[in-house]
Chain A
Amino acid sequence: MIKESNRIQLLTLLLVFYYVILSWILHRNGFEHTESLFYSEKLKILFEFKENTLLTIGTTFPSSVFIASIILSPFGYVFAPIAASIIFVAILFYFVVFDISESKLAFKPVLISIILLFVLHPQFVYAAISGRNIAAIMLFLYMLFRSLFLYYRTQTTYYLSLASIFLTILVFTEINFIWMILSFFPFIALVSVDGIKVSKDEPPIFQYYQALNIRSLRRKLANRTVSLYLILFLLPLAAYYLFRLLNEAHAGNATYFLSSQYANWRVTGTAPLNTILELTKGKNVAKQTQLIFQVFTIVLAPTFILSLVLFKGKLYELFTLLVPIFFFSIILINAKFYFTTEYYMVMQIIGIAGLLFFGYNKYGQKITTGLIIGASCISILGGIYYFSESNDYEEHDLYMMFNSDKKWFGPKQDTELQQMAEYVASVASPETPLLIDDAAAYGIMAHLPSLQGLILPLQKSFVTVIENPALVASYMCIAKRNNRLHNTTVLNAYNILEMKERLGLKPIRVFETENWIVYSIR
């Protein structure tokens, strides 16, 4: 007999195998995400470049994906971020299945629903194979809410501390989640009454009435509320300010890790809303406004709706489930970027957590099980709908790849970046150095076999070289005008014209792709 824990481990291992095969197929058919390539390039610099290592690792946004990628770098710099996201999703799967086994729900049917979600839901699969931070966000979001629910159940500080640790990692996976702290505020005030000696049989509102109208209880309530805030939020906030301090000391800019294109993929990777509106065809962006976005994400995540329908428990636990609605309201106030998959997964993940902890025995096991399987299937359809209407270039590209008549097992297709990297590798050498700016060209650099013969912004000489490249460099890699990253790098089509005029540079076009050109300048 296989033990239940071993069975869960075996299932997790099969899922890892499934994701690895899938990512291999997609990769050889030309799918790779720029965020994943960004991490790959940073790994490459970290391990192969001796100058300014601190600036690479020290001030690069310490995302959990990047840190996990460092550990997984023996699997290859390009595969390491993908391996990291596969592992994050696998760990999430393990915990979800473990929690099913501990819950009062029927194990097998609910397990089948969860397997359906992890194997077929496009957003789950995308999270695992894209090498983005989505997988880490999903995992730590689940762990955060799981810890909070366990805290409500056991009232031990252990789970509160765990929640704080997971919130810290979540914030350091995607900085926007720091606003989740604000959305927790009202519920913590509500939860704090639980530790005060008031009539527990009364509804929470009367407990509050009692606590606020007795002086000693009021003081206790205030102290407990502050304590809960501190124990939950001290770690993420302290970690954030520590990193600001480190960036101030080393980059001369406290927000370097957030605002520099060399440190954070989001600076160049996320598309501003106006660009999205001009260039893409999807309809999701239109739904990214107050209230509509919340409703839309809920509609795409029937598991969340179901967890509310099946909910049985206390009021503040129900309110905790609603935290993401407040969170979205806060981040939508000043939304400048298109919200990609990770934001749509928030409801899905919290829905699963709510379902496992509070969705039991309201309508009997059979009806509940049927509802869960139904919700999972509708979720999958919602995921497909999301991708079909996505305004994100890369999400849309992936959708188109699946919708095309592609021969999945035909000859391997090199991407534009791979082709460019191949050429750069063939010409760049210490004798014929090539000037390249990884603010935009990180995708090319990630595919290079070695960094020898490159002149990079990390080098102290870069600023001097850029003033008169022909003195030192033999080649320059330039982002073309139609390149989305054209404006994020100094080595772009505009500057080459400027150099021609100012320095009398006579560049010769030696290799060109849709978005990139290599010039010979000597």
Chain B
Amino acid sequence: MPVCALNNMINVGLFTTGKLEQIEEIAAEFEYINIKTALNFGFLTRKEYVAFLERAGFPLIDVRNQEIDETFVAQCDLLHLNSFLYLPLKEDNKGVLIVAAADPLDEKLLGFLEIKFDKKVSLVAASDLDITWMINKLRGEYYVKEAVFSLMRKDPMSSGIITFTDAQLIAIFGFIGVFFLFLTLYFINAFIFFNLFFSCFFLFAIVFKLYIALKGSRYELHQAVTKEEVRAVVNSTLPVYTILLPVYKEDKLIRKLIWNLRSLDYPRGKLDVKLLIEEDDDKTLNAVRNLDFPANFETIVVPYHLPKTKPKACNYGLFFCKGKYLTIYDAEDVPDSDQLKKVVCLFRKLPKDYIVLQGALNYFNKNENLLTRMFTLEYSYWFDYMLPGLQSLDVPIPLGGTSNHFKLDKLLELGGWDPFNVTEDADLGVRVFEKRYKVGVVNSTTFEEANNEPFNWIRQRSRWIKGYMQTTLVHMRNPARLVQKIGWKGFFGFNFFVGLTPITFLIYPVLLSFFVIYLIFDLKVARVLFPDWVLYISIFNFVAGNTLMIYVNMLAVFKRRYYELILFALFNPLYWLMHSISAYKGLWQLVYNPFYWEKTNHGLTKMSHSAAAASAVNANGA
């Protein structure tokens, strides 16, 4: 039996044979070396391991500052380097190839390298994280370019690398031209027409939302997967499940992340968790390095390449995935413990054309301040009512940022995420529909941290709204083709939920200003622009629209019994103004910086999920 560091640790009483047996089983399935499995599946802390190596006479070298002869690395494939955690450095004076390895005692690896390079090899110890960082930096170029350009090459019509096509520019400027031409030639009539058009559009969009929410509310108590079905799942039949965790400067959340992952009810050896860290994100890398307890994820370092977006990182991570299913969580996410099992059950129950399941998202810090309450109301109606409503109508579902569970092979078939789209999830939802696949909704919730700071919220929202604009522009390049692919129902559904959402936010403050100016100043000019019937329709649309939107928000409290939030729905008009600010920011960025990823700061909340859960249980009197 080949010897590795773990055998030596057993010999000195620092490890157990039982654990090694488990590790070997997992390592065989994932095709990893033992030490990678031990460090990434929660068997061993890095600190313990480093201490052992130092005591065993293998002090770690800093591979990130070593002189490296790249001719040797060039002979190795990144995926192999990553599985076996080694990095050829250079030949010494005696012609011996020095190779940095996470496990310098691994005889199997040594043998393999000597055959591969046909020379004597000497293994030196190095941090697995530093090796990962270096190998991805040195050998990740091909993969990162694939991650960025693969979709553009395979399906250029679906790639957002071009924001505006020529035809779209002509249409947009044509519309603006006609708008100003009419305003110049027939100011009053043109003003009245556009005012009425937008105000009717505003009301129609909201009535449509109410309709979908009501449709969705029919399925309020529907359990796609029951607790009994989850209990009946046999662990040995479960497939490997990949979880992607794209993070950027989330060092404060790493501990939390580990605890959240540990609470998942899924066999440890079947969880393929990838923490995707950007090359320049030493903060997060060091947080992983300095953990006092075993990590239960594998770290992947995404080499530097523009655009620096989450979908690019996820696409890069896809090359390393081993699972049959895949999901994405944010660092601060707290999924329901049985979420993965529910997804497996539901995929088994549903027809094969269902390739994505969206879990509900909600917030654990809902009672922190007004903003988190409003955000919770919004997410509750969106995920608990709108998505089931959209599913029942069989129209494209814009996926949420996290907790969307894919069949990995189908995700690869679709070309992964569009790295140029800042709401890659919504875009992917449409592409799924275009390929005649379906998106389902699973009755499981992931609790996230609601943005509790207004400027941070606006940053996040501006990205989302910009992404919706991008997605619309991409898929509306050829409307006839889109109709052909997703049908008229899908076409209208897509345009209403993705395309017209930013427009609603953009026109809201304009309508509000008209209304307020008329009411407050009662100017003569305003009376000319608002003849009786125009004012009548405007007041009706505006008041009815806002009331219905408040009503839709109020509906949201019922499923989760967040009754204490219902009165906060009255603040929805103010909340919409914040959306409008974000929409204008998003529009500005769409023109000047379309691929810029507005980073949302996490970890600002003073509430923890466990505290929130405890207070909820207390409030429920359970």
Contact = CB atoms under 8 A, between A and B. Distances in A.
B536 A154 contact: no
A220 B620 contact: yes
Interface residues of A, number: 34
Contacts of A154: 221
Interface stretch (A155-163, A259-267, A407-415, A480-488): A155-163
Contacts of B622: 197
Given A216-B620, A249-B536, A235 B221 contact: no
B85 to A, nearest CB: 51
Given A157-B555, A249-B536, A250-B536, A217 B221 contact: no
Interface string A197-231: 11000000000000000101101100110110011
A400 interface: no
Interface in A152-176: 154-158, 160-162
B217 A242 contact: no
Nearest to B620: A197
A58 interface: yes
Contacts of B217: 156-158, 161
B568 to A, nearest CB: 11
B563 A158 contact: no
Nearest to B617: A216
Given A223-B564, A227-B566, A231-B558, A246 B620 contact: no
Interface in B524-578: 532-533, 535-536, 539-540, 543-544, 547, 550-551, 554-555, 557-559, 561, 563-564, 566-567
B520 interface: no
Given A54-B533, A224-B561, A217 B539 contact: no
B566 A157 contact: no
Interface in A43-59: 53-54, 58
A226 B543 contact: no
B252 interface: no
Contacts of A217: 621
A245 interface: yes
Interface residues of B, number: 31
Contact of A158 (B218, B532, B566): B218
Nearest to A59: B536
Given A58-B536, A158-B218, A220 B566 contact: no
Question: By DSSP majority rule, is chain B's interface helix, strand, loop, or mixed?
Answer: helix
Nearest to A242: B543
B42 to A, nearest CB: 36
A104 B563 CA distance: 35
Contacts of A249: 535-536, 539
A246 B536 contact: yes
A242 B550 CA distance: 14
Interface in A107-166: 154-158, 160-162
A154 B558 CA distance: 13
Contacts of B539: 242, 245-246, 249
B230 interface: no
A511 B217 CA distance: 62
A504 to B, nearest CB: 38
B196 to A, nearest CB: 14
A164 to B, nearest CB: 8
Contacts, number: 92
B551 A235 contact: yes
A295 B210 CA distance: 41
B238 interface: no
B220 A223 contact: no
Contact of B557 (A155, A162, A227): A227
A157 B384 CA distance: 12
B567 A226 contact: yes
B598 to A, nearest CB: 34
B458 to A, nearest CB: 29
A14 interface: no
The CB with the most chain B CB atoms within 10 A, among A154, A223, A226, is that of: A223
Central interface residue in B557, B558, B559, B564, by most chain A CB within 10 Å:
B558
B563 A245 contact: no
A471 interface: no
A195 interface: yes
A234 interface: yes
A227 B550 CA distance: 13
B214 A158 contact: yes
Main secondary structure on A side of the interface with B:
helix
A226 B561 CA distance: 12
B387 to A, nearest CB: 15
B167 interface: no
A106 to B, nearest CB: 29
A21 interface: no
Given A161-B217, A242-B540, A224 B563 contact: yes
Interface string B507-533: 000000000000000000000000011
Nearest to B550: A234
B532 A216 contact: no
A155 B221 CA distance: 8
Contact of B544 (A195, A219, A223, A242): A242
A463 B532 CA distance: 20
B618 A216 contact: yes
Contacts of B550: 234
B1 interface: no
- For B214, B536, B550, B621, which residue has the most chain A Cβ atoms within 10 angstroms? B621
B619 interface: yes
A156 B532 contact: no
A230 B221 contact: no
B621 A157 contact: no
A238 interface: yes
> Which among B536, B544, B618 has the highest number of chain A CB atoms within 10 Å?
B536
Interface string A243-255: 0011001100000
Contacts of A158: 214, 217-218, 220
Interface string B607-622: 0000000000011111
A220 B563 contact: yes
Contacts of B558: 157, 160, 227, 231
Nearest to A231: B554
A54 B536 contact: yes
B514 to A, nearest CB: 14
A246 B540 contact: yes
A49 to B, nearest CB: 14
A217 B561 CA distance: 12
Contacts of A235: 547, 551
Contact of B554 (A214, A230, A245): A230
Nearest to B569: A230
Interface string B212-223: 001001101100
25 contacts: A154-B221, A155-B220, A155-B221, A157-B220, A158-B214, A158-B218, A162-B214, A197-B620, A198-B621, A216-B620, A217-B621, A219-B619, A220-B621, A223-B563, A224-B561, A224-B563, A227-B557, A227-B558, A234-B547, A234-B554, A235-B551, A238-B543, A242-B539, A242-B543, A246-B539
Given A157-B220, A227-B554, A250-B532, 13 more contacts: A154-B221, A158-B214, A161-B214, A198-B621, A216-B620, A220-B621, A223-B564, A230-B554, A230-B567, A234-B554, A242-B539, A242-B544, A246-B540
